[in-house]
Amino acid sequence: MSIRKQSDGKWLLDFYPEGKPKGKPSKRIRKTFSTKGEALAHQTYILDNIHVKPWLDGKEDRRKLRDLVIQWYDEHGVTLDDGEKRKNAMEFTCASMGEPTAHEFTSTMFSVYRKKRLSGELSRTTRVEKVSPRTVNLELAYFRAVFNELKRLGHWKNDNPLDLMRPFKSEESELIYLEGEAIKRLLEECSNSRNPNAYHVARICLATGARWSEAESLTKHQIAKNRISFFKTKGNRNRTVPISQEFYDSLPIPKKAGAVFSSCYSAFRKAVQRSEIELPDGQLSHVLRHTFASHFMMNGGNILVLQRVLGHTDIKMTMRYAHFAPDHLQEAIKLNPLEYKK
């Protein structure tokens, strides 16, 4: 029988696509799957494509999907700020799907993978089991980009296997920000941390709207008496944010050039836990940035100025904070049909 259940509960696909050999070599497929349905789907795929030979420069392309990911990274991804992060995510996906060849990789295979990611069956970390639709949408975008870029570079000559696959619709999550008492409590816990850098990095984020990684990686030459400059940012836009003399004097500026802070994100996470501040998944690193932007608008700030301070390339990103302005949509009070011309 070509598909059978094993003692560990998994299903083994074991068959010869071109029939059992009679005196001459014939390719044998042996592969395990979590469900019988997956095994049947893979067998059907193999049989449907048995006479289809994907040729590349006259030779059958036997590259693994992982090989394409690595080639993409070496020739393009290495130039991206999040290139290594993307590569690591895709290598996890390749391993989770059983290290398929590039030509075995299909939208059906990826669909099964993302279903397991959403259910928590496949997890990259122990801290987060079930991922959000936005996370698997990013993973879909990563692989699409790999095939598109390799095609542009002449390393892939077939269609993008994920071209017709649609991302999930995902609702915009509520942006959580901290009020005065929570800010005070969090900074106290940061100051009590074994890593003193957590306190200073947190204050920089609250004072400038910086991302945690931007503040944590600051070097001495980026901090001046009246400003902090951020380079190599997510939006590839350098920006400079003014600071007060008092704030500058409170920072631990080193005498020698180089990094101002050591890694302290773990200390910040523990400080948040001790502060008993509950945050939605994925908002820990940005909660201080959201807090800055929300208070900036509540205190009467200009949305265009906020866009420049945050370094957003698209005003739509900044508009998420517009409703915090004290006069936001106030015309609705006096221009509604019950009140107008009273």
Which of the residues are catalytic? 211, 234, 286, 289, 312, 321
Q: How many C-beta atoms lie closer than 10 Å to residue 72's C-beta? A: 26
Residue 259 in tokens: 């990094």
**Among residues 101, 97, 99, 100, which one has the least CA distance to residue 111?**
97
Q: DSSP label at 68?
A: H
| Euclidean distance between CA atoms 311 and 241, whole angstroms | 10
* Residues 268 and 212: beta-carbon distance below 8 Å: yes
Taking the C-alpha atoms of residue 164 and residue 6, their distance in angstroms, rounded to an integer, is: 35
Strands (E), 237-321: 239-242
Among candidate residues 116, 96, 167, the one with its CA nearest the CA of residue 138: 167
Alpha-carbon gap, residue 200 to 205, rounded angstroms: 9
Asked if residues 268 and 294 have their Cβ atoms less than 8 Å apart, the reply is: no
Query: Kindly report the CA angle at 321 between 319 and 322, in degrees rounded to 5?
Result: 65
CB 201 within 8 A of CB 215: yes
CA 80, CA 84: separation in Å to the nearest integer? Answer: 8
- Compute the distance between CA of residue 83 and CA of residue 31 in angstroms, rounded to an integer: 31
CA-to-CA distance for 235 and 217, rounded, in angstroms? 16
Q: How far is CA 248 from CA 16, 169, 226, 242, 244, in A?
A: 71, 44, 7, 10, 6
